Amino acid sequence: MIRILNKPYLLFCLACNCNLHARRCRFNMELYKLSGRKSGGVCLNCRHNTAGRHCHYCKEGYYRDMSKPISHRKACKGQGFSHTSFLSSTPETLSAAAPGQGCAGGACDCHPVGAAGKTCNQTTGQCPCKDGVTGITCNRCAKGYQQSRSPIAPCI
Protein backbone atom coordinates (compact mmCIF):
# COMPACT_ATOMS: atom_id res chain seq x y z
CA MET A 1 0.00 0.00 0.00
CA ILE A 2 1.24 3.48 -0.87
CA ARG A 3 -0.12 6.91 -0.03
CA ILE A 4 -0.78 9.51 -2.72
CA LEU A 5 -2.01 12.90 -1.55
CA ASN A 6 -2.67 11.34 1.87
CA LYS A 7 -4.97 8.69 0.40
CA PRO A 8 -4.04 5.00 0.69
CA TYR A 9 -3.82 3.02 -2.56
CA LEU A 10 -3.34 -0.68 -2.94
CA LEU A 11 -1.25 -1.27 -6.06
CA PHE A 12 -0.65 -4.57 -7.77
CA CYS A 13 0.87 -5.60 -11.06
CA LEU A 14 -0.84 -7.73 -13.64
CA ALA A 15 1.06 -9.97 -15.99
CA CYS A 16 1.10 -8.73 -19.56
CA ASN A 17 -0.78 -10.84 -22.07
CA CYS A 18 1.89 -11.34 -24.74
CA ASN A 19 0.61 -14.72 -25.95
CA LEU A 20 3.91 -16.34 -24.91
CA HIS A 21 5.82 -14.34 -27.56
CA ALA A 22 7.55 -11.71 -25.39
CA ARG A 23 9.49 -11.88 -22.16
CA ARG A 24 9.04 -8.23 -21.18
CA CYS A 25 6.40 -5.56 -21.29
CA ARG A 26 5.98 -1.98 -20.12
CA PHE A 27 3.12 -0.05 -18.65
CA ASN A 28 1.56 2.78 -20.68
CA MET A 29 -0.72 5.08 -18.68
CA GLU A 30 -2.43 6.49 -21.78
CA LEU A 31 -3.41 3.01 -22.99
CA TYR A 32 -4.54 2.16 -19.46
CA LYS A 33 -6.89 5.16 -19.43
CA LEU A 34 -8.16 4.42 -22.96
CA SER A 35 -8.96 0.82 -21.98
CA GLY A 36 -11.22 1.98 -19.16
CA ARG A 37 -8.48 1.31 -16.62
CA LYS A 38 -8.31 -2.39 -17.46
CA SER A 39 -4.97 -2.82 -19.22
CA GLY A 40 -1.94 -0.67 -19.90
CA GLY A 41 0.57 -3.35 -20.76
CA VAL A 42 2.54 -3.22 -24.02
CA CYS A 43 4.66 -6.22 -24.99
CA LEU A 44 8.27 -5.52 -25.94
CA ASN A 45 10.21 -7.32 -28.67
CA CYS A 46 7.55 -9.76 -29.84
CA ARG A 47 9.15 -12.98 -31.10
CA HIS A 48 8.08 -15.78 -33.44
CA ASN A 49 7.10 -13.33 -36.24
CA THR A 50 4.34 -11.71 -34.18
CA ALA A 51 3.54 -8.03 -33.64
CA GLY A 52 1.07 -5.81 -31.83
CA ARG A 53 0.49 -4.58 -28.30
CA HIS A 54 -0.11 -8.15 -27.12
CA CYS A 55 1.91 -9.96 -29.84
CA HIS A 56 -1.52 -10.96 -31.13
CA TYR A 57 -1.11 -10.77 -34.92
CA CYS A 58 1.50 -11.71 -37.51
CA LYS A 59 4.07 -9.13 -38.55
CA GLU A 60 4.27 -7.86 -42.13
CA GLY A 61 5.29 -10.56 -44.59
CA TYR A 62 3.86 -13.37 -42.46
CA TYR A 63 0.45 -15.02 -42.33
CA ARG A 64 -1.51 -16.70 -39.55
CA ASP A 65 -1.65 -20.50 -39.53
CA MET A 66 -5.26 -20.88 -38.37
CA SER A 67 -4.65 -24.48 -37.28
CA LYS A 68 -2.57 -23.18 -34.36
CA PRO A 69 -3.56 -20.83 -31.51
CA ILE A 70 -1.90 -17.39 -31.60
CA SER A 71 0.12 -18.42 -28.53
CA HIS A 72 1.85 -21.21 -30.51
CA ARG A 73 5.42 -20.31 -31.51
CA LYS A 74 4.69 -21.35 -35.12
CA ALA A 75 1.35 -19.52 -35.43
CA CYS A 76 2.86 -17.09 -37.98
CA LYS A 77 4.41 -18.51 -41.12
CA GLY A 78 6.72 -16.81 -43.60
CA GLN A 79 6.47 -15.36 -47.06
CA GLY A 80 6.94 -17.76 -49.97
CA PHE A 81 9.01 -15.65 -52.39
CA SER A 82 12.79 -15.70 -52.41
CA HIS A 83 13.50 -13.66 -55.55
CA THR A 84 11.97 -10.78 -57.46
CA SER A 85 12.27 -11.60 -61.15
CA PHE A 86 9.38 -10.30 -63.22
CA LEU A 87 9.64 -12.28 -66.44
CA SER A 88 6.66 -13.78 -68.19
CA SER A 89 6.07 -15.99 -71.17
CA THR A 90 2.72 -14.29 -71.79
CA PRO A 91 2.03 -10.58 -71.33
CA GLU A 92 -1.00 -11.08 -69.10
CA THR A 93 0.54 -13.39 -66.49
CA LEU A 94 3.24 -12.09 -64.16
CA SER A 95 5.63 -14.72 -62.94
CA ALA A 96 8.23 -15.12 -60.23
CA ALA A 97 6.94 -18.27 -58.55
CA ALA A 98 3.85 -20.42 -58.65
CA PRO A 99 0.79 -18.55 -57.41
CA GLY A 100 -0.13 -19.31 -53.79
CA GLN A 101 -3.51 -20.32 -52.48
CA GLY A 102 -3.95 -17.42 -50.06
CA CYS A 103 -3.78 -17.71 -46.31
CA ALA A 104 -6.16 -20.65 -46.07
CA GLY A 105 -3.88 -22.91 -48.11
CA GLY A 106 -0.45 -21.62 -47.10
CA ALA A 107 1.65 -18.51 -47.42
CA CYS A 108 0.03 -15.51 -49.05
CA ASP A 109 2.75 -15.46 -51.71
CA CYS A 110 2.00 -11.87 -52.69
CA HIS A 111 3.83 -11.28 -55.97
CA PRO A 112 7.01 -9.25 -55.28
CA VAL A 113 6.36 -6.91 -58.24
CA GLY A 114 2.59 -7.00 -58.73
CA ALA A 115 1.62 -6.55 -55.08
CA ALA A 116 1.53 -3.16 -53.37
CA GLY A 117 2.49 -4.75 -50.02
CA LYS A 118 3.71 -7.97 -48.43
CA THR A 119 0.71 -8.73 -46.23
CA CYS A 120 -2.48 -10.31 -47.50
CA ASN A 121 -5.91 -10.25 -45.92
CA GLN A 122 -5.55 -12.97 -43.30
CA THR A 123 -9.10 -14.19 -43.89
CA THR A 124 -9.47 -14.10 -47.69
CA GLY A 125 -5.82 -14.37 -48.73
CA GLN A 126 -6.17 -11.40 -51.14
CA CYS A 127 -2.93 -9.45 -51.58
CA PRO A 128 -3.02 -5.66 -52.10
CA CYS A 129 -2.43 -5.18 -55.85
CA LYS A 130 -0.86 -2.27 -57.70
CA ASP A 131 -2.96 -0.37 -60.27
CA GLY A 132 -3.77 -2.55 -63.28
CA VAL A 133 -2.79 -5.78 -61.51
CA THR A 134 -5.25 -8.47 -60.41
CA GLY A 135 -5.39 -11.99 -58.95
CA ILE A 136 -5.33 -13.21 -55.37
CA THR A 137 -1.52 -12.95 -55.36
CA CYS A 138 -1.40 -9.96 -57.76
CA ASN A 139 0.25 -12.05 -60.46
CA ARG A 140 -1.77 -11.00 -63.56
CA CYS A 141 -2.49 -7.87 -65.50
CA ALA A 142 -6.16 -6.86 -65.30
CA LYS A 143 -8.32 -6.91 -68.42
CA GLY A 144 -7.36 -4.02 -70.69
CA TYR A 145 -3.82 -3.75 -69.26
CA GLN A 146 -0.54 -5.00 -70.71
CA GLN A 147 2.60 -6.05 -68.89
CA SER A 148 5.36 -3.44 -68.87
CA ARG A 149 9.00 -3.81 -67.89
CA SER A 150 8.59 -1.38 -64.99
CA PRO A 151 8.54 -2.79 -61.46
CA ILE A 152 6.76 0.40 -60.35
CA ALA A 153 3.89 0.07 -62.85
CA PRO A 154 4.03 -3.57 -64.00
CA CYS A 155 0.76 -3.34 -65.93
CA ILE A 156 -0.13 -0.33 -68.11
pLDDT in tens, 71-129: 999 998 875 433 333 334 333 444 333 333 334 445 677 888 898 887 787 777 888 89
Q: Is 24 exposed, middle or buried (0-12, 13-18, 19+ CB in 10 A)?
A: exposed
Tens-digit pLDDT profile for residues 13-38: 777 889 999 999 998 888 888 888 88
* Domains of the chain with bracketed CATH: 19-77 (2.170.300.10), 84-151 (2.10.25.10)
Calculate the alpha carbon distances from 140 to 46, 104, 106, 132 in Å.
Answer: 35, 20, 20, 9
Q: Is the dihedral of CA 111, 97, 154, 125 positive or negative?
A: negative
